[in-house]
Amino acid sequence: MQTSSLKSRLSNISRELLLFILASFAVGMAGSLVDSTLNNFLNDTFSLNGFQRSFLEFPREFPGFIVLFVSAAFGFLSSRRLGALAMLMAAAGIFLLGFSSSSYAVMVVFLFIFSMGNHLFMPVSTTIGMELAADGRTGRRLGQLNAIRNLAVIVGSFIVFIGFKYLHFTYQHSFTIAALIFAIAAVMMFLMQRVPSAPPRKFLQLRKEYTRFYALAVLYGSRKQIFMTFAPWVIVTIFHKPTQTLATLMTIGGVIGILFQPILGRAIDRFGERMILCAEAVLLVLVCFAYGFSRSIFPENIAFIITCVCYLLDQVLMSVSMARSTYMKKIALQPEDIQPALSASISIDHFFSIGIALLGGVIWNHFGFQYVFLVGVVIATINFFVARKIKLPTDRPTCVVPGLSSASK
C-alpha cells in the first residue's frame, strides 16, 4: 500500500518540480565537491598563512553582501534564467580556479566569480521553491528540497573520499566534475518554463522595532565565519589531515543534518526561539573553547577526535538559524515587513562575516589559532545575553505569510 502511494506521488510530480529537484541535487553535489577540497587546494597550491586564508573570505563573502544589488541589475531575467546564469558563473569560476590560478591574485578573481554564482542562486532557489509549493505547504516543500540537497552533499563528499583515496584524484579532477555538475544544473534551470518574477515592493528596509533581530544577524554572521573559515583550516594545517578527512566529516554532518533538522523544527515550536537560541549559545561557548584549546590540553590523537566532534556539532548548530527567521516572523508588525527584514539580515550577516574573517586572520598570525576561537567564545557569550532579551508579542497574532521559509543560510 505504501509502495503504491509512493509511486502515485512520484508519477504526479510536475515537469517543473522534477527539473528543479534535479537542479537542486546537482547544486548540492557540486558544492560538496568544492567544499571538501578547496581548503586543501589552497594550502597545497599557495601555502597560505592565516591572514592570507582569512583574506580570501572577502572575495568569497562579498558577493553575499552585494547580491541584492546584483540581482536588481539582472531584474530583466526571470528567476529560472537568473538561476541558470548563476550556475554558469559558478561552473566557470571553479573550473578556472582549478586550471588557471597562476597566482594568488588571479585565483582571488576566479574565487569571486564562483562565489557570485553561488550567492546569486541562493535567493533564486528559495523563490522557485516557494513558487512550486502547493498552497499552505511551502515549508514542507522547502524542507523536502533541503533534504534533497543534504543527500546530494553526502554523495558529493563520498565521491571526493573515494576519488582521493582510491582513484588518484587531483584537485583539477574534483573541480572539473563540480563544474560539469554546475553546468548540468544550469541546463535544468534553463529548461524550466520562464515565469517572470514580480519585483519586490521594498528593496531594503531597516526598522528600529527589529533591532534585536538585526543584532542576532550580526552575531550569527560573526560566529558563522569563524567556523566556515578557520575550523577546516585547523584540520588541514594544524592537524595536517588530507582531503578525505573533511569529505568524511561533511558526509557524517550531512547524515546528521537530515535527521536533526525536523527535530529542531519541532523543538522551536515547543520550547520557543529564546530557549533554543540560548541553548545554542551555551553549546557554542563549549564548542569554541574545545576547538581552540583541546590540542593544548590533550594528546594529539584525542585532541583531533575532540576537534572533529566540535566540527560536527557546529555543523548541526548552523541549522538553528531557522529560529532567527521564525522569531522575525513572530515579531513582524505587518506581513510585508518580513521578507525585507530577512533580506537585510543577509547583507548584515555578510558584512560582519567579512570583518571577522579579516580580524581572525590577524589574530591567527600574531597570537595563534587558539585565540581566534576565543573570540568565538566571546561572540557566543554576547549571543546568549541578546537571546535572553527576546520577547514575543502577546497582544497580537503572529503574522502569517504564505510562502515564507523558516530556514535561512
Sign (positive or negative) of CA dihedral 74, 76, 79, 82: negative
Sign (positive or negative) of CA dihedral 121, 122, 124, 129: positive
Q: Cα–Cα distance between 288 and 370 in angstroms, integer?
A: 9
Q: Are residues 175 and 102 in the same domain?
A: yes
Alpha helices in 318-392 (DSSP H): 321-331, 338-367, 369-388
248 in any annotated domain:
yes
Q: Are residues 312 and 187 in the same domain?
A: no
Q: Are residues 59 and 135 in the same domain?
A: yes
Tens of pLDDT along the chain (409 residues) come to 444 544 555 556 788 888 988 998 999 999 989 988 888 888 888 877 666 776 777 788 788 778 777 777 777 777 788 889 999 999 999 999 988 888 888 888 999 999 999 888 877 776 677 667 655 454 456 556 777 887 888 898 889 888 888 888 888 999 999 999 999 999 999 998 876 554 544 545 677 778 888 888 888 888 887 887 788 888 888 888 887 787 788 778 878 877 777 777 778 778 888 898 999 999 999 999 999 899 888 998 999 999 999 999 888 888 777 777 777 777 777 766 665 666 677 778 878 887 887 888 888 888 888 998 999 899 999 999 998 888 876 544 444 444 433 333 3
Q: Are residues 290 and 164 in the same domain?
A: no
Q: Are residues 135 and 219 in the same domain?
A: no
Residue with cell 574534483: 174
| Burial (Cβ within 10 Å: 0-12, 13-18, ≥19) of residue 389 | exposed
Q: Are residues 275 and 181 in the same domain?
A: no
157 in any annotated domain:
yes
Q: Tell me the CATH number at 249.
A: 1.20.1250.20
Q: Are residues 259 and 116 in the same domain?
A: no
Q: Are residues 170 and 253 in the same domain?
A: no
pTM for this model (two decimals)? 0.69
Q: How many domains, in total, are found in the chain? A: 2
| Residue 358 CB coordination number (10 Å) | 16
Q: Are residues 115 and 215 in the same domain?
A: no
Q: Are residues 175 and 320 in the same domain?
A: no
Q: Cα–Cα distance between 264 and 100 in angstroms, integer?
A: 43
Q: Cα–Cα distance between 355 and 127 in angstroms, integer?
A: 29
Tally of residues, the chain: 409
Q: Are residues 356 and 238 in the same domain?
A: yes
Query: Among 182, 199, 216, which residue terminates a domain?
Result: 199
Quote the domain boundaries for residue 387: 207-398
Q: Are residues 173 and 262 in the same domain?
A: no
Q: Which residues contact 231 (CB under 8 A, 6 or more apart)?
A: 291, 310, 311, 314
Q: Cα–Cα distance between 217 and 265 in angstroms, integer?
A: 19
Q: Cα–Cα distance between 144 and 48 in angstroms, integer?
A: 39
187 in any annotated domain:
yes
For the chain, the C-alpha Rg in angstroms (whole number) is: 21
3 in any annotated domain:
no
